[in-house]
Structure 1
Amino acid sequence: MNITCSRPYCKHPINSFGELKNASLLKTVQQKYCISCGMPLILAGRYLPTRLLGKGGFGAAYLAVDRYSPTMRKCVVKQFQPEGDFGEAELAVALELFDREALVLDNLGNRHPQIPDLFAYFPLIVPGTVNGKKQGEEQYFYLVQEYIDGQDLEQELLQKGAFSEQEITEILKEVLKILTFVHENGSIHRDIKPSNIMRNREGLLYLLDFGAVKMVTSHTPNPQSKSTGIYSMGFAPPEQMAGAQVFPSTDLYALAVTCVSLLTAKPTTDLYDAYSNTWQWRKYVTVGDRLALTLEKMLQHNPAKRFQSAKDALKIIDPQGQRAVNVSSVAPQPTVKPPATTNTSPSTYEPKPINVEPIEPTKQGIQPVEKPPKPVKEKKSRAPLPVASILRGVGFWAFEGVLVAIAITSALATFSMGVQMGVLGGIMGLLILLLWKKVIEKWDLLFVAAASMALIYFIPLLHSSLFTLLNLPLLALFILPPISALISIFVISILLFILSLLRKFV
């Protein structure tokens, strides 16, 4: 079994212990030490780091197993070691803040299914080493949290590209619900970004990184350095970057930046106009009014002009869901009978009115959501057709179709027409799949078309049908595919125009 040393500067952190494959010995062994630096490997007597998940200026995160759980449960061990020279007073403050934040994490995770549970938190004091010799002491802090098996949204973006409007709307709804719980329990996340939102293998979203690092590092000498973790550049709002007071709307701003970066698949530096202090994301993507106006309000420079709570934002982006929650949460009122009295004056009973706080309309045009007497089916806005992408794909498909037909009829001239048509259909179907999955797109189309034309031109076996079947010169190889592509683009353009008219009026 391999155990990873958690000392940051250990030169050989991987330690192998073959005897720990024995389950009974694994659960009873007192301690194991790093062969290279002497660091204790079994943390808090039960957690065994198996591999490094990530490393940054504040410390590192390890995948670990809990040897005292029946199933050797996986967990994440986060190590925090403050940068810089800290005295005893500073370390005492850091430990106090670490403990207090850990209590908050324990409370949030145990009460919400989309926040990782906290399993343990503890400091560790070990002998320091200099050139292999013991010298002084070193202090580390550890958090042990639930392990979420999945991908964060930053990894999804790199893997699949831009998110659709529907995907962003669902992400926004789910994270706003989590933030409603977080804010109502007196906490502000302060580090919302794609890498801190994870989707497990069942599709459930989790909000990550509630670690004490943010609270502890606010006392570091250089709060603007990247390693402090106070904010993530590009996602934090102005008040947070200035070191001023933060609000629940601070998290809403960062969540909106997360959404527009996923929608456009562009870095935040390309979306923010520093001259006008505005986000210019809408020139890269078109979405429905409800989502667009919700994000615009969350992205306001002034915190007072944003939604003041996640619940307020939910009322706009998910009015049907909020209405259902409000209706289900109202319990039936019991009938109250006035008590018997000898007073001859009539007894009156005045029930207390239920105060319903209205949703204030915004200057951006978001209308207040009112409970109508009859449900009105809202007309869903449709995303515009990706005309340019469709026409590129059609032109490429028609261009390649002519080349593939020439190559097949030449190379398989001795086979029947049925076999030739079957191979042609299979290849063209594969091209449609590659275009649909965006395996090849944009400049790839030009490179593939040029490569396939060159291949057929220089290999006589692949263009002989031009002479035998069509009685055409070799020059036709450069004329027929472009003509086919242009005709296909023209026909599809007309069909797309008709379809856009139908979508507008139907």
Structure 2
Amino acid sequence: MLCCLNPACHNPSVPDGEKYCPNCNVPLVILRNRYRPVKSLGGGGFGKTYLAEDTDKLNEKCVIKQFAPQVQETAALQKATELFEQEARRLQQLGEHPQIPTLLAYFQEDSRLYLVQQFIDGQNLLKELQQQGTFSEGKIRDLLQDLLNILQVVHQQKVIHRDIKPENIIQRGDGKIVLIDFGASKQLTKTVMTAQGTTIGSFGYAPLEQMQDGEAYPASDLYSLGATCFHLLSGIHPWQLWKSQGYGWVRNWRQHLQQAVSEELGQILDKLLQEEYQQRYQSVGEVLQDLNFQPVIATPVLPLASTVIPQSRASILLAPQGFLKKLSKQNFNFRKILLLGAAITLVGTQIYGYVRYGLFPTNPISIIASKDSDVFLKRTLTGHSSPVNSLAISPDGNTLASGSSDKTIKLWNLATGEEIRTLTGHSHRIHSVAISPDGKTLVSGSSDKTIKLWNLAIGEEIRTLTGHSESVDSLAISPDGKILATSSYDNTIELWNLATGEQIRTLIGHSDSVSSLAISPDGKTLASSSWDNTIELWNLTTGEEIRTLTDHSNRVISVAISPDGKTLASGSADKTIKLWNLGTGEEIRTLTGHSSPVDSLAISPDGKTLTSGSGDFTIKIWRLK
């Protein structure tokens, strides 16, 4: 098939061999005797876009952008021409990035300019919104992570996109996000011409400085990103609000949501959507810091019968945002090993942190050890290129596993700090890792919606488990090593046979993301916390819901069960910790003192000490009795 390239025509596709368009009688052409246009993809007054085939590459699909403006006004035409060429230069400059289309050719033919670029096989997010409905918070977080990483590269190249919106974001078949349209030739049909110059951007998504003064900064792209997230969360085009409220809509955007978002994400969107660009985030790195500072669910406690900590040394130091919940007795006489990340200072000792993105470019894992009354830095492990979100220590205390946003898992010799190997296979960041009680199997959960099982000894992937429709955030393995529990942003918990990988059942009861899991030492009870402000207790054997605990006034972020199986602790965004009788579900008491959400909890092996970490940058140590 061949498509007419006359911009004034409706561009019918005609069979090969035809020489003239049956609609407009214009000759049909193959550009440069190589690029065969096969279908019009639409366009505006400054040109059209066509799906094409590259005959020099076995008819590989590509995209032709045609510049054929229908205006005669000299200044506007000159500006449009500059922008079209600018798009080609930007693609040439940025096209090495795997999530930005590659420029294939730029040339003039028949008095028209043409740009040929890589074809992205996928669907833009506006179409996805129309087909599947509003996005969940988990999906927005994943989108932000992907887009911010792309924008960081773009801005480092001194390029401002200036037209970020759902139509310009494509999700490929492999789940990856691709940012398109780095020129404004198409968007010029929707811009405002002012006496000061030509303002570029799409109504509703473009910030004040672009629409009013024609200026753009990195913070301008970040505003457009915030408006895009709002559109996908609410289903409401920001232009609809802008028409009646101007930029005033950004101050009350929450009231248009169908479902509330967390305080943390809300604060990020608040700062992205500031009307004055000076009040917004000034760089992608700042947004990534706050985005990755959101609660990262630590690996649940595995049985600690083999771990002995003297009563006088039972207190545990843990860093906020995803505490290591595993302690192991070591041969070098240290009584406690803590693997931490995101730089905080505690009692004069600097403890590196693994969650706050960008504070340390190497994303180190630090081993903090205590001997007698001293606490000191034993060793720092470097190798990950993005935040380390979860850690697990093998039962024999020899191996450390670390899961990272760089999509890898690293295995380390805990005694020497040497990297043993890197495990790759996940296509998105890894949220949680856990090791089976027998030390043979490593389990990882990822934003790619899968769970992977690995042979810990040789590092080979055993199998991939699929069943969740959103990011997998928390893992728990039963004390006998037979059952794996996983939780997700899709509001469900899946139970699996760890040995065979077979799905046992799905637990449905929460109405929002399930943030954390804990299994009682006797293996009978599963506790799950959720952003729906509740904790559910389940019979792990039958999958039946035992009871719902509802006294928190905000989302519940973390749960932990005492070694004797009698006490459940829960940490919440309401800034409190609640202690519950696990057997009866009765609330024992509420602990207050944190000034921000309580993100993680751990209970010492003797059951006497509870530690809590919070977004207020503090760790609190409590006597459970």
Instruction: Compute the TM-score of the two structures, normalised by the length of structure 1.
Output: 0.55
| 2:66 corresponds to 1:79 | yes
- How far apart are the structure 1 equivalents of 2:225 and 2:80? 28
Which of 347, 361, 370 lines up with 1:326 in the alignment?
361
Aligned partner letter, 1:327 = T
Report the residue type matching 1:173 in the other structure: Q
Q: Report the alpha carbon displacement of residue 252 of structure 1 after superposing the two structures with TM.
A: 0.2
**Structure 1 residue 223 displacement after superposition:** 2.5
2:210 to 240, 258, 281: 240
Residue in 2 that maps onto 1:157: 129
Equivalent-residue separation in structure 1 for 2:185 and 2:158 (angstroms): 18
Q: Secondary structure of the residue that 2:229 maps to in structure 1?
A: helix
Question: Is 1:501 equivalent to 2:500 in the alignment?
Answer: no
User: Taking every aligned residue pair, what percent have the same amino acid on both sides?
Assistant: 40
The corresponding residue for 2:222 is: 252
- Structure 1 residues 496 and 198 mapped into 2: Cα distance closer, same or farther (>3 Å)? farther
Instruction: Please give the residue correspondences for 1:52-451 in structure 2 after superposition, counting only pairs within 5 Å.
Output: 52-69=40-57, 71-85=58-72, 95=81, 98-109=84-95, 111-125=96-110, 139-211=111-183, 213=185, 217=188, 223=193, 230-269=200-239, 273-274=245-246, 276=248, 278-283=250-255, 284=257, 285-319=259-293, 320=355, 322-323=357-358, 326-327=361-362
Q: 1:90 to 1:294 in 2, by over 3 A?
A: closer
Could you say if the C-alpha distance between residues 93 and 254 of structure 1 is closer, same or farther in structure 2, counting changes exceeding 3 Å? closer
Structure 1: any 5+ residue segments left out of the alignment? 20-31, 126-138, 331-377, 379-432, 437-494
Cα shift at 1:280:
1.8
Question: How far off its partner does 1:39 sit?
Answer: 3.4
Tell me the equivalent position of 1:392: none
1:194 & 1:233 partners in 2: Cα distance?
13
Please point out which of 44, 59, 67 is paired with 2:32: 44
Distance, in Å, in 1 between the alignment partners of 2:247 and 2:65 is 39
In 1, Cα distance between equivalents of 2:223 and 2:247: 19
Taking a change above 3 Å as real, the CA distance of residues 329 and 34 of structure 1, as seen in their structure-2 partners, is farther
Partner SS for 1:187: coil
- Cα distance in 2 for partners of 1:90, 1:241 equals 16
The amino acid across from 1:99 in the alignment is E
What CA distance in whole angstroms lies between the structure 2 residues aligned with 1:275 and 1:307?
Answer: 17
Query: 1:141 & 1:166 partners in 2: Cα distance?
Result: 42
Q: Which amino acid aligns with 1:501?
A: D
- Structure with the bigger RCO (C-alpha within 8 Å, sep 6+) is 1
Contact 1:143 1:211 in 2 (8 A): no
Moved more, 168-177 or 229-238: 229-238
Say whether the 8 Å CA contact 2:204–2:240 is kept in structure 1: no
Distance 2:131 2:212 in 1: 34
Instruction: Check the 8 A contact 2:199/2:210 in 1, yes or no.
Output: no
**TM-aligned CA distance change 1:221 to 1:310, over 3 Å:** closer
Superposed displacement of residue 213, structure 1: 1.5
Q: Distance in 1 between matches of 2:107 and 2:547?
A: 65
Report the CA distance between 1:243 and its aligned residue: 3.2
Residue-by-residue CA offset, 1:411-458 (whole Å, 9 max, x unaligned):
xxxxxxxxxxxxxxxxxxxxxx9xx9xxxxxxxxxxxxxxxxxxxxxx
Deviation at 1:143, TM superposition (A): 1.1
Contact residue 239 and residue 245 of structure 1 kept, 8 A: yes
Cα deviation for residue 259 of structure 1 reads 0.3
In 1: Cα distance, 2:79 partner to 2:177 partner: 34
Q: CA deviation at 1:44?
A: 2.1
Contact 1:261 1:268 in 2 (8 A): yes
Quick check: which has more Rg, 1 or 2?
1
Residue in 2 aligned with 1:8? Answer: 7
Query: Contact (CA 8 Å) 1:64, 1:75: kept in 2 or not?
Result: yes
Q: Report what 2:446 is aligned to.
A: none
3-state SS of the aligned residue for 1:141?
strand
Deviates further, 175-184 or 96-105: 96-105
CA distance in 2, matches of 1:117, 1:329: 34
CA distance in 2, matches of 1:255, 1:308: 13
CA distance in 1, matches of 2:28, 2:233: 45
Q: CA deviation at 1:90?
A: 7.6
- State the Cα distance separating 1:155 from its structure 2 match: 0.6
Is the deviation greater in 304-313 or in 495-504? 495-504
Deviation at 1:236, TM superposition (A): 0.7
Judge conservation of contact 2:148–2:288 (CA < 8 Å) in 1: yes
Equivalent-residue separation in structure 2 for 1:91 and 1:299 (angstroms): 32
The 8 Å contact of residues 83 and 183 in structure 2, kept in 1 or not, is answered as no
Q: For residue 315 of structure 1, give the secondary structure of its aligned residue in structure 2.
A: helix
| Separation in structure 2 between the aligned mates of residue 64 and residue 184 of structure 1, nearest angstrom | 32
C-alpha separation in 2, matches of 1:311 and 1:275: 25
Q: Is the 8 A contact 2:62 2:117 kept in 1?
A: yes
Aligned CA distance change for structure 1 residues 208 and 181 (closer, same or farther; 3 Å): same
Instruction: Give the deviation of 1:98 after TM superposition.
Output: 3.6
SS of the residue corresponding to residue 62 of structure 2 reads strand
1:271 deviation in Å?
5.1
Give the superposition deviation at 1:9: 1.9
Which 5+ residue runs of structure 2 have no aligned equivalent? 294-354, 366-430, 432-507, 512-544, 557-568, 571-625
Taking structure 1 as reference, are residues 141 and 212 closer, same or farther at Cα in structure 2, changes over 3 Å only?
A: farther
- Residues 324 and 311 of structure 1: CA distance in aligned 2, closer, same or farther (over 3 Å): closer
Deviation at 1:99, TM superposition (A): 3.4
* Structure 1 residues 242 and 158: alpha-carbon distance in aligned structure 2, compared to 1, 3 A threshold: same
Paired with 1:43 and 1:166, the residues of 2 have a C-alpha distance of 44
Q: Per the alignment, do residues 214 and 229 of structure 1 end up closer, same or farther by CA in structure 2, a change over 3 Å counting? A: farther
